[in-house]
Amino acid sequence: MTQLPQFTRALLHPRYWPTWLGIAIIYLLVLLPFPVLYYIGCGLGRVAMRFMKRRVAIAQRNLELCFPTMPVAEREAMVKKNFESVGMGLIETGMAWFWPNWRIERWFTVSGLEHIKTALEVKKRGVLLIGMHFLTLELGARIFGIHNPGIGVYRPNDNKLIDWLQTRGRMRSNKSMLDRSDIKGMIRAMKNNDIIWYAPDHDYGPRASVFAPFFAVENAATTRGTWMLTRMAKPSVVPFVPRRLPEGKGYELVMLPDISDEMPLDDEVTTATYMNKVVEHGVLMAPTQYMWLHRRFKTRPEGEPSLY
């Protein structure tokens, strides 16, 4: 397993004091009732739009690329709702890291747990849990782990304090964590009938990717990892979607059926194309809560101009 970050006295150095202050504010904030947090989070997102102009432009461009026939007014409305989700994402990260289990379970309904049970107890193949970069990501992983502790896959944060804190928060409902580059560790875990949380929907650069369609974008850089993991470990493959309900009514976690028997493994491109369709289906279950402010299409085939 990856060597997880530990708390040391070095994290008390003055250079981390601004981070500690931010952590303290979030910790105190999430003590408030959830309906109040919903109001605050959405408000923070609307304010963020005024200051995060570059990210607003990226979200607008991503939606234009993915949904070119959607009316402009509808896309602009989606961007506004998306940034409300950005504000809520900050609040939800604090909820995921600091709330006790009983408080999280109070605001969640969970469906599809039988798909995980079948995979682990009947098929005994381990699970590749397909997550997607929703802004509810941290909270969704926490509630999933409460029911089915697994092994998280992550990229270590450059800020050592944040790296320790996010690992501590995620370990509240996970067995362990693996660096996203540790493919052998992921395969080993699934062969041992464990659950690996894995998100194949970001652009990880040309060396780690092949090009496959994603919504209306014909060539989207898509990770090779899904093909390698499913071919080598032969796990059950279960997508899941954590989505926020309207008007602060809580959340639902939806585990979708195992797709491993339908997933083509002929080659990397075929698998990537299939997986992008799976991600599209998940995104459309909560389209305004997806991480549209990420430059999903920054890597282009050689000779093609930037889409941004």
Q: What are the residue boundaries of the structural domains of the chain, listed by start?
A: 12-289
In this prediction, residues 111-138 reach a mean pLDDT of 93
pLDDT digits (tens, 9 = 90+) for 198-223: 999 999 888 889 999 999 999 999 99
Share of the chain above pLDDT 70, in %: 99
Q: 251-255 and 236-244 as β-strands: parallel, antiparallel, unpaired?
A: antiparallel
| Sequential DSSP letters for 166-193 | HHHHHTTSEEEEEETT-HHHHHHHHHTT
What pTM was estimated for this model as a whole?
A: 0.91
pLDDT digits (tens, 9 = 90+) for 64-94: 999 999 999 999 999 999 999 999 999 999 9
Question: Of 217, 226, 231, which Cα lies nearest the Cα of 278?
Answer: 226
In this prediction, residues 47-69 reach a mean pLDDT of 96
CA 184 from centre of chain: 21
Which pLDDT score, from 0 to 100, does residue 2 have?
A: 57
CB 108 within 8 A of CB 251: yes
Cα dist from 105 to 124, 137, 170, whole Å: 27, 16, 16
DSSP letter assigned to residue 129 = E
Q: Which residues of 53-73 are buried (b: 16+ CB within 10 A; e: fewer)?
A: eebbebbbbbbebbeeeeeee
Question: Of 170, 171, 152, 134, which Cα lies nearest the Cα of 254?
Answer: 134
Provide CB contacts within 8 A for 53, sequence distance 6+: none
Q: 217-223 and 209-214 as β-strands: parallel, antiparallel, unpaired?
A: antiparallel
pLDDT digits (tens, 9 = 90+) for 237-290: 999 999 999 988 999 999 999 999 999 999 999 999 999 999 999 999 999 999
